[in-house]
Chain A
Amino acid sequence: MTTVAAPPLVEMRGVNVAFGGVHAVEDVTIDLQAGEVVGLVGGNGAGKSTLMRVLSGARPADSGEIRIDGKPVVITNPRDAKAYNIETIYQTLALADNIDAPANLFLGRELTTRLGSLDDSSMEAETRKVMGRLNPNFTRFALPVKSLSGGQRQAVAIARAVYFNARILIMDEPTAALGPAETASVRDLIRQLKGEGIGIFLVSHDIHDVFDLSERIAVMYHGRIVDIVDKADVTPDEVLGMIILGKRPKEASQTELAQLELGG
């Protein structure tokens, strides 16, 4: 790994999260540079989403430290995270189905008139602008998001994250519910955001997504980081091996690798 003079955009050090007796995240240390995509991979229950929920303020860590630009910060709820320009696209999208797209986009950060009333017209106008960039075919601004397609709902969730000048973006399975064309446009968006200097944590099951988009890949297994590797140094099969075995390629025994071959 290269050493850099400037502190990383985000550092998470020694983060622990336990649910009852189960360690969902155990002593995890990870960092993210500006303009970098770090892919976060692992099997179900590996702790990827829980780790990201710590950073987005949805689930405070039991112990550990978070630094932003080298300064320690305390994030105990989503409001704190947003104050540090950490935006999250959740796997569930976290949309309120009964209200329309502008209301969802600005939820918690509504535009108001001078008297403090909701300025729905301005919010709709801003939503039209940002959606025009992300999904030009989107026209249903006055309908509850319940009546939108999966791709349109995803677009609303993404618009919400990018509209507010995110510096740190967490994307949890951003393409899981999308068709091929929509997936391609999300990939384009990720490259564009990376170019703008935003640091992105990309949580994904899709190893090709991760190889295609990220600079570094962090593999998690049973709540721990197996390794954080530069993409150039590994093959997809080696990453797959780490995901399944929870060991670095060199540590795995020949028998285990053979079993993996057989199983694959």
Chain B
Amino acid sequence: MTNVADTAPGQAQAPPRTSIRGLIAATEIDLRLFGMLVALAALLLTFNILSGGKFFHPTNMVTLAVQASGIAIIATGMVLVIVSRNIDLSVGSLVGIIAMTYALLMTEILPDVLGLPADFPFRWVIALGMGIALGAAIGGLQGFIIAYIGVPSFIVTLGGLLTIRGFVWYLSSGAAVSGLDRDFQLIGGGAIGSIGGPATWVVGIIGSVAIIGLLINGRRQRRRFGFPLRPMWAEVLLGAIGCIAVLGVAAFANANLWPQGLANRIAIEQNWGPAPAGGWKIPTGFPYPIMLLIGVTLVMTFIANRRRFGRYVYAYGGNPDAAELAGINTRWTILKTYVLMGVLCALAAAIASARLNGATLDVGQSYELYVIAAAVVGGTSFAGGIGTIPGAVLGAFVLASLAYGLSFIGVNSPGQNIVAGIVLILAVGFDTFNRRRSSS
């Protein structure tokens, strides 16, 4: 909060600083988040160099992002759970049982029991709604036991991990189930499960407009109340970087093209006429799971920062007694964090089962570890009260980049685990060191 342009009454004017640190502070960027973005970029760049420039191919990046999306979606909720001094170990099993539910709904229950055939309109919405309801119910039950009966969350969700995974077996009698609705499969991404080139540009432009709108609105609000304003150059810089980043990502996603064979087949089916020279070039744009992740990140950030519920989660994490004495219904708040987790698991389960076109017994296995790791790498503290949703999403991307990049340069799965584990410890160690230094 240096370089104050306008000064509120009674506001001591800070001396303007010209150091780089001062300039960065003037933009009020979250330094931690910025550092993580730089680390992620460095990581991707390293893999690109190690792979001789092949890693940065748009197809790789889009696949990587889709692989990260499920973990990232759940991690946004795990932030709130860990911030409020709890843990949820059951997310992997929850994903498993909901994925199996989707598969059974679409192959057996909807057509045979409820009489809704596969061509029933919006059947995928019905299935998705039931999955979300199941997730919310299981999450709510765990949350109730934790918040109202007072059993530690570690125990409740550890029990949940075992119990729910057991139910998956009983649901399908141990068999894998496949054959989801075509529309539902789009949630999993792929060439067809993407929004296409024009829509991707539209999303990019909407994103840019939103960034500028938020900056202008924020400035107007501050001026209305006479609060210190950011210097104008910082506002312009932030807006420019934001827009370039959003449009750049859109352009990159549009550089990912449909596979030639698929494009040719569709062209023949749809009577597009003869292929142009060099074959059909159809941009995939953003896959649906990425759109889902973007939506979830925005909604969850809004909930965390702009809703009472989010404020109460952070206040409880910072000081449970203070939250209670302030009159907050802390138990209800904790219960709701687990309901939210169930809903997010249902969304991640939709992506996982759609990609598989069905469900096996081990869908979501060890998700809890990656989700917790993503939240923690993203700056969430087990001491409670600290953590951000964008940070957790970035954390999920760091972990997914590591896994994808290592396998891309030929490191096998045990090797990937070794690196992921070391990175987890290093990330948290670095963070702890930084916080200790800045607080002393």
Contact = CB atoms under 8 A, between A and B. Distances in A.
Contact of B315 (A99, A124, A125): A99
A78 interface: yes
Given A78-B327, A90-B325, A107-B322, A99 B314 contact: yes
A222 interface: no
Interface stretch (A31-39, A115-123, A201-209, A242-250): A115-123
Interface string A218-253: 000000000000000000000000000000000000
Contacts of A65: none
B225 A121 contact: yes
SS class of chain A's interface: helix, strand, loop or mixed? loop
A110 interface: yes
Chain A: interface residue count, which band? 35 or more
B222 A94 contact: no
Contacts of A95: 319, 322
B114 interface: no
B324 A125 contact: no
A117 B325 contact: no
B1 A142 contact: yes
Contacts of A110: 308, 311
Contact of B311 (A92, A103, A121, A132): A103
Interface string A57-92: 010000000000000000001110010000010101
Contacts, number: 93
Interface string B139-170: 00000000000000000000000000000000
12 contacts: A56-B325, A79-B329, A94-B322, A96-B319, A107-B326, A107-B328, A110-B311, A116-B307, A117-B306, A125-B225, A139-B11, A142-B1
Interface in B204-238: 221-222, 224-227
Contacts of A137: 12
Interface string A138-164: 010010000000000000000000000
Given A94-B322, A96-B315, A79 B308 contact: no
A94 B307 contact: no
A108 B322 CA distance: 10
A56 B325 CA distance: 9
Closest 6 A-B residue pairs measured CB to CB?
A: A98-B318, A96-B318, A98-B385, A108-B326, A107-B326, A79-B327
A96 B315 CA distance: 5
B327 A96 contact: no
